[in-house]
Amino acid sequence: MAKNFWTGKRVVVTGGNGFLGKHLVAKIKKKKPKSIFVPKFPEYDLRKYEDCLKVAKKGDVIIHLAANVGGIGYNREFPATLYDDNILMGTYMMMAARTAKVDKYVALATICAYPKFTPVPFKEENLWMGYPEETNAPYGLAKKMQLVQSAAYRQQYGFNSICLFPVNLYGPGDNFDPKSSHVIPALIKKFIDAVEQNQKEVVVWGTGKASREFLYVEDAAEGIAKAAEKYNKSDPVNLGAGFEITIKDLVKLIKKLTGFKGKIIWDKTKPDGQPRRMLDTSRAKKEFGFKSKTSFEEGLKETIKWYEDEINYKQQITKSKQREHKLQISK
């Protein structure tokens, strides 16, 4: 770790109440900065420049995680909203940070910004080789513009901003809402629901041939913190685990770990998304010493356990309320 990087720093984490944000805020708290501020919607609407400026004035270091994001279904339903929200938040937040003379700005982009047919493993220099996969393009390109903005601001103003490209994240606290969840929480929910309801089959989108790479959320938080401490260039940096797994093999693994014994039905009318995804992670290791630590199966077990604990907790709360209701009626 860079010597005393966080000491005396006022840190702002946009999106700090989200899935990744909560893990990152907890990690930075342990490093004992002067303060950590997490702007909350609707008090601060980061699609408005005036609100971004209010937020930026509270920080020496800004880590911009806030995004409107979802899975394939969500991307197909709301492409314009995804583009508008993310281009505005990214542009205005960096613009405000420069105006407020912030010391260090960390922007989070996305693997969705890569071209549809990127050679595997994805290298940072491949980012401009073609158009993203169609369902990802509005979101991916809106986030990718942070990279252009970062380089332009460094060139013209000497503004110290960096841009990281994380692969798909997963882990405890993920979004399990079927309307907007990504593939891992969506599958975990499907299989656990199927086990609880004694279903004989589970329907999964696509052909299973596409591949993905996944980074455990705790590892991602560590990578972002290290980049904030040590990296000071506008060249893009991948954050990933450096492996790929087909959706077919992922489904088999989650089926095994959740104890589902039934049949898997592949709905081939639904899209696969980008054909393959795996990052070259050598730049992150070289520039700021980041390498993921959590094995994929171990990370999945932790995620499944967290979700099962959440279900049990909610069931206990429901039962407790039902008991209270019955007592009130009997009185």
Active site residues: 139
Show contacts of 251-259: CB within 8 Å, 24+ apart: 251/187, 251/204, 251/208, 253/297, 253/300, 254/184, 254/187, 254/188, 254/191, 254/300, 254/304, 255/191, 255/202, 257/297, 257/300, 257/301, 257/304, 258/188, 258/191, 258/192, 258/195, 258/304, 259/195
Residues 277, 120: Cα–Cα separation, whole Å: 7
Pairing type for strands 211-212 and 245-246 reads antiparallel
Alpha carbons within 13 angstroms on the beta-carbon side of residue 20 total 25
The HSE-up count of residue 326 (CA atoms within 13 Å, CB side) is 6
